[in-house]
Amino acid sequence: MENMKKEKKGLKKFTDFALSNFVIVAFVILFISSYFLSPAFFTKNNLLSVLIQNSIYAICAMGMLIIIITGGIDLSTGAYVCIVVCLTAGLIQDGHGVASIFIVLVMALGIGAVSGSMVAFLNIAPFIATLAMTTILKGAAYMYQTGQNRRIDGTFLPKWVKSSTLGVPNPVLVMIVVYLVVLFVLNRTRFGRGIYAIGGNKETAYLAGIKVKSYLVLSYALGGMCFAISGILLCGRLGMGTATVGEGYEMDAIASVVIGGASMNGGTGSVTKTIVGAMFMGVLYNIMNLMGIASYPQMIVKGVVIVLAVLLYKTK
């Protein structure tokens, strides 16, 4: 009797854990099933390529997370990636070398600050402000890119992106660094506390002395910087500048954040679960590819997974 009670309590604890860390449990299950579903899955080459490929998405997702925690959203992720790919290649071609990276990052910070200011000071809905920013950035990217050849093969960036440090592919290394920084910022700084408070209840946060407006601006700026880091890595992988990239990145980033358990209303969200969310989507795509499932059915599966994830978090 006593034992059964204990067991029941243990079971309840487990289901609670499983529900609030649904994405981690789901990832483990997906990973193990993939092992049995395709012999090509659990090979070093395949796993590394999944990791490298998705580090770019995961970094975008972490940027998106910061913004979603405030209760906002940034639809211009893909446009950032697009213009950053073009500009990075262009600046490297113009001979700015490593400085190109810093120029692009500062610029992204500035673009984010503009989006954030529209939200914080002009009270424009985040959806609209960043939608407008999307077309502005896209337009600028095309204007900069049209008629230009922006190949940068052989320069430092493609070389670095394609190599490894201490056995870790550099894009994955960047993802880990971004992860640690975001983890620290969200949990150990006044700003991190502040944005959770803003997303939870803006009015309460303001009355508690939290600098709501400047924190909003900073959130969009930091988000923009994450998107730019992804763009730089993508530029290195492609070895050229092109304005045809970035399509749909915002949706993948939002999906990762939501699968990671954050609420679109703001105030919640974990960076660890967001990364796992991004990797979950990556492994799901990978195994479907390995199994020879065509890309359209894949899209349907992705949509179903997002809905299921949200429903499961709701039952908690």
Residues within the interface to another protein (CB under 8 A)? 187-190, 192-193, 196-197, 200-201, 203-211, 263, 267-268
Long-range pairs of 103-111 with CB within 8 A, sequence gap ≥ 24: 104/228, 104/231, 104/232, 105/225, 105/228, 105/229, 105/232, 107/228, 108/80, 108/84, 108/224, 108/225, 108/227, 108/228, 108/231, 109/221, 109/222, 109/224, 109/225, 109/228, 110/221, 111/80, 111/137, 111/224
In terms of phi and psi (left: phi > 0; alpha: psi -120 to 50; beta: otherwise), the region of 145 is alpha
Q: How far is the CB of 213 from another protein (least distance, A)?
A: 10
Tokens matching residue 135: 């077309």
Residue 135 or 187: which CB sits closer to another protein? Answer: 187
Give the residue with the Cβ less far from another protein, 78 or 267: 267
Q: How far is the CB of 273 from another protein (least distance, A)?
A: 16
Q: Which is nearer to another protein, 57 or 196 (CB)?
A: 196
Cα separations (Å) of 210 from 109, 185, 216? 22, 16, 11
Of residues 64 and 197, the one with the C-beta less far from another protein: 197
Give 208 or 291: the residue with its C-beta nearer to another protein: 208
CB of 172 or CB of 310, closer to another protein: 310
Return the closest-CA partner of residue 245 out of 4, 77, 100. Answer: 77
* Closest approach of another protein to the CB of residue 226, in Å: 21
Closest to 26 in 3D by CA, of 278, 297, 209: 278
Minimum CB distance to another protein, residue 266 (Å): 9
Instruction: Retrieve residue 213's tokens.
Output: 């407006």
Distance in Å, CB of 187 to another protein, minimum: 7
CB of 116 to another protein, least distance (A): 18
